Amino acid sequence: MKTVSIFLGSAFVIFFVAQNALALALVIPSPKTVGAPLALTIEEDGDTMIDGARITQITGSTIFASQYWGTLPVRWIIRTDAKTSIKHRFGNPIVMSQLAVGHFISVEGSFNGSSDSLGIDAKSIKNWSVSTEGSSFAGTVVSVPDAGGAFILQIGDGSTVFVKPKATSTIMRGVVSIMPAAIALGDRVLETTGVYNHIDRLLSAENVKIFQDKQKFSPRNFEGKLVRLDSINLPTIMVVNVGGKEYTVHLPDKTIILRKDKAKTTLQRFVAGDTVRFYGAIREAEWSVVDAEVVRTLEF
């Protein structure tokens, strides 16, 4: 076993190299698997930085971790407190509970060793093994969603996020709950929230809120063929085929019934197949239902 020590300015950097056959036979998890470096720096004033340490135990606010050069371990006792900054590999804050045995970390702090252990009072910890966090995004759907509703979302800075709704996700278009497959190319997503994986740029979405133009629900004129009239007395319901789509039209007590010349009349002469025109608003929660204020026959 050989130890090589290199001095860089005031930094004291230690590298350990294993040189025996038994060392090569053992498999030690490498920090490279999560993109973490492996380094140890101790300054003359005690400022210490360790990279690529693997957590072996967590007890309360104390973390036990080891760095490996070959199979030679350098064991650390890492003490944290309320002031210790803990972040994931992409820089966003996480909490102590998001550290776990087997995770690779980098630590900055003050050297605090004893006769039988190396210690560091941690000022900051970066967890290289955590690449996910709760996130939210807004933007425009720029791909045709697949059968499960997964789509590519272009966000404000021009980059994209792959959004994958779960089977239990809530997807709303305005105030209407829709199925994932009803998401459409070009939809404007006001907000989608869930667990985001920075490496894959994948959001496992819990909720998706899609913009709905309120103009769709403003009162307007419709014209079509009368399919059915439930009663000639108000209030009642009629079904009208407008351009191949059937609307259920609710006629309350105050609905105005007009003839072709716009004179008032009753529903008594309305029959299936007549061309009718009605004025009203589509219900926001029921797109095939219209509340009519005026109904006019174009037959008499």
Same domain, 158 and 259: no
- Segment 23-68, tens digit of pLDDT: 444 578 899 989 999 999 999 999 999 999 999 999 999 999 999 9
Position 189 scores a pLDDT of: 97
187 and 79 share a domain?
no
Are 6 and 100 contained in the same domain?
yes
**Which pLDDT does position 200 carry in this prediction?**
86
What domain range is 247 assigned to? 217-297
Residues 107 and 138 in one domain: no
Element spanning 24, H or E? helix 21-25
Q: What is the mean pLDDT of residues 64-78?
A: 92
Last-in-domain residue among 167, 192, 212: 212
User: Of 22-26, 40-44, 120-124, 129-133, which range is least confident?
Assistant: 22-26
Residues 186 and 270 in one domain: no
276: left (phi over 0), alpha (psi -120 to 50) or beta: beta
pLDDT band at 240; cut points 50, 70, 90: very high
Same domain, 110 and 43: yes
Pair (14, 121) in one structural domain: yes
**136 and 100 both lie in a single domain:** no
- Residue owning tokens 């492996």: 38
Residue 3: the pLDDT is: 34
255-280: average pLDDT: 95
124 beta partners: 85, 108
113/49 same-domain check: yes
Q: CB burial class (10 A; 0-12, 13-18, 19+) of residue 157?
A: exposed
How many Å apart are CA 77 and CA 57, to the nearest integer? 10
CATH of the domain at 258: 2.40.50.140
Asked if 34 and 86 sit in the same domain, the reply is yes
Between the CA of residue 219 and those of 1, 133, 222, 282, 294, what are the distances in Å? 84, 44, 10, 7, 11
First to last CA, the chain: 105
> d(Cα 211, Cα 139) in Å, to the nearest integer?
10
- Mean local confidence (pLDDT), 83-96: 91
Question: Is the whole model's pTM more than 0.85, yes or no?
Answer: no
Same domain, 205 and 228: no
Q: 276 falls in which pLDDT band (50, 70, 90)?
A: very high
**Which residue in 276, 281, 268, 271 sits closest to 297, CA to CA?**
276
Q: Are residues 123 and 143 in the same domain?
A: no
Three-class DSSP category at 53: strand
- Top pLDDT among 10 and 277 is at 277
Whether residue 153 contacts residue 137, with contact meaning beta carbons closer than 8 Å, is answered with: yes
> Of 127, 151, 170, which marks where a domain is finished?
127
Q: Report the phi/psi class of residue 60: left, alpha or beta, with left for phi > 0 and alpha for psi in -120 to 50.
A: left
CATH number at 112 reads 2.40.50
What is the per-residue pLDDT across 139-153, written as a single tens digit (0 to 9) for each? 999 999 998 889 999
Average pLDDT, the chain: 88
Strand, helix or coil for residue 20 = coil
Give the total number of structural domains in the chain: 3
Whole-Å CA distances, 254 to 229, 236, 263, 293 = 17, 11, 16, 7
**Domain limit, last residue, from 79, 98, 127:** 127
Secondary structure (3-state) at 149: coil
